[in-house]
Amino acid sequence: MASCYRSGRNENGHWNEEPGLRAGDAMRKSGFFLVALIMTIPITDAAVRGESFGKMPDGTPVEIFTLRDGATEARITTYGGIVVSLKTPDRRGQPADVVLGYDSLQGYLGGNKAFLGAVIGRYANRIAHAAFALGARKYSLPKNDGENSLHGGTRGFDKVVWQGKAIANGVELTYASPDGDQGYPGKLTATVRYTLRGSTLRIEYSAVTDAETVVNLTSHSYFNLAGEGRGDILSHELRINASRFTPVDQTLIPTGELAAVAGTPFDFRKATAIGQRINAENEQLRFGRGYDHNWVLDGKAGDLSEAAELYDPGSGRVLKVFTTEPGIQFYSGNFLDGTIQGKGGKVYGHRSGLCLETQHFPDSPNHPAFPSTTLRPGQRYQTVTEFRFSTR
């Protein structure tokens, strides 16, 4: 049964957790029957609540955790580590859900080909020809994007049930990916911690392995700061703190070049409306059907620094993305085509949401000059991303 916890800071300023009355015991003493997993953790102004989100076809239970602090609320499910909803107020104080998604587990089990809101792994983005080598050994992966492997393969981390537990201000998700999973070597144990403090949703990724492997984790939330299902994102203004990006070939695999953004439609060093240049005559835009590229961040990898800022003039909502990662993939929702019916039956049309995926570069295992994604036994993969919301 679930437990309830009282949390606070000790005299050293660190968080501690103190077990309280077990929910099952409390329910039995009250004479009620516990029909669903429910837990609530009050932490100053924040609260965390876990409950049932349904079951997988094989009967495996799935939970959803609601994180709330003031006017900001995030809901995260153990299936795929998905951010199901993220509510934040506009300049008038009116809240809206700013991420695309489904109302129920069944929506996500229907395929979720767009990876709405999911944790992506073992390897976010694309790996060329669905193969890479570590030392003298070559590994083959599922081909699920033409000749390439995309977002971890046909059953990546977005399609598995993670073990979830409530923590101070958030939820911790853990998944043990066995050796050979989707072709990747080594048993990889990954942990993703979502915490909400004020209007900041923080995501901490970590992983360890028992054999040399590669890993690249990210979040694939689609943002629309006007509110999900409320038109496209072309009037959103975007700034990316990057002087270079990684050009791609026709299959969206990096060529290996780190190209300057100056003088191109990829220059977002100053806030620019996304729709202003998205249809420009440009080979890279043709390849991506819009923006679907990795930017090389100017900040020092490993330091938590500002990567991007997104602003919706209509609602006044601002999203700032901070990360320790060396790159960010800006995807302008080019393949959303109106076939997805999301929350409340809303139709997600062309470019009705955008992704800002903090990451190592695509196809890094096949590009020795790119920052390495190799993880060895005894090492710990660890990255942090923060989504900070405000208004103006």
Q: Is 322:310 a contact under the CB 8 Å cutoff?
A: no
Contacts of 198 (CB under 8 A, 6+ apart): 69, 70, 72
The yes-or-no verdict on residue 43 having pLDDT over 90 is: no
The mean pLDDT of 199-210, rounded to a whole number, is 98
Least confident range from 21-35, 137-151, 288-302: namely 21-35
pLDDT at position 21, please? 33
Indicate the pLDDT class of residue 292, thresholds 50, 70 and 90: very high
Q: How do 259-260 and 218-219 pair as beta strands?
A: unpaired
Residue 70 sits at φ, ψ, to 5 deg, of 60, -125
pLDDT per position as a tens digit, 131-152: 999 999 999 999 999 999 999 9
Alpha carbon distance 10, 51 (integer Å): 29
User: Please, what is the average pLDDT of the chain?
Assistant: 90
pLDDT band at 153 (very low <50, low <70, confident <90, very high): very high
Measure the CA dihedral 197/220/153/343, to 10°.
100
Q: Which pLDDT band holds residue 2 (cuts at 50, 70, 90)?
A: very low
- In this prediction the pTM is 0.89
CA distances from 334 to 128, 350, 372 (A): 21, 6, 29
Query: Would the pLDDT of 187 be above 80?
Result: yes
Task: Assign 352 to helix, strand or coil.
Answer: coil
Q: What is the mean pLDDT of residues 1-17?
A: 34
Q: Which residues have a Cβ under 8 Å from the Cβ of 111 and sit 6 or more positions away? A: none
Contact between 173 and 192 (Cβ < 8 Å): yes
Which pLDDT score, from 0 to 100, does residue 301 have?
86
313 Cβ contact partners less than 8 Å away, ≥ 6 residues apart? 235, 237
pLDDT at residue 37 tops 80: no
47 against 329, higher pLDDT = 329
Task: Tell me the torsion sign for CA atoms 226, 173, 115, 361.
Answer: positive
Nearest to 276 by CA among 288, 291, 265: 265
- The C-alpha angle with vertex 357 and arms to 182 and 371, in degrees rounded to 5, equals 70
Q: What are phi and psi of 338, to 5 degrees?
A: 90, 0
Report the CATH architecture of 36-391.
Distorted Sandwich (2.70)
Sequence spans of domains, the chain? 36-391
Q: Taking residues 274-300, what's their average pLDDT?
A: 97
From 229, 223, 194, select the one nearest 88 (Cα to Cα): 223
Mean pLDDT of 277-295: 98
Residues 336-347 have pLDDT tens digits of: 999 999 999 999
Per-residue pLDDT, averaged over 51-57, amounts to 98
Residue 95 near residue 78 (C-beta atoms within 8 A): no
Q: What is the mean pLDDT of residues 224-249?
A: 98
Do residues 242 and 261 lie in contact, with contact meaning Cβ atoms separated by under 8 Å?
yes
Q: What is the pLDDT of residue 46?
A: 67
Check whether 11 has a pLDDT greater than 60: no
Q: Pick from 48, 74, 80, 53: which is nearest to 64 by CA?
A: 53
| Residues known to be catalytic | 220, 357
DSSP state of 257: -
**Does pLDDT of 73 surpass 90?**
yes
Please give the C-alpha separations between residue 337 and each of 46, 219, 292, in angstroms, as whole numbers. 37, 21, 16
Number of helices (H), then strands (E), belonging to the chain: the values are 3, 32
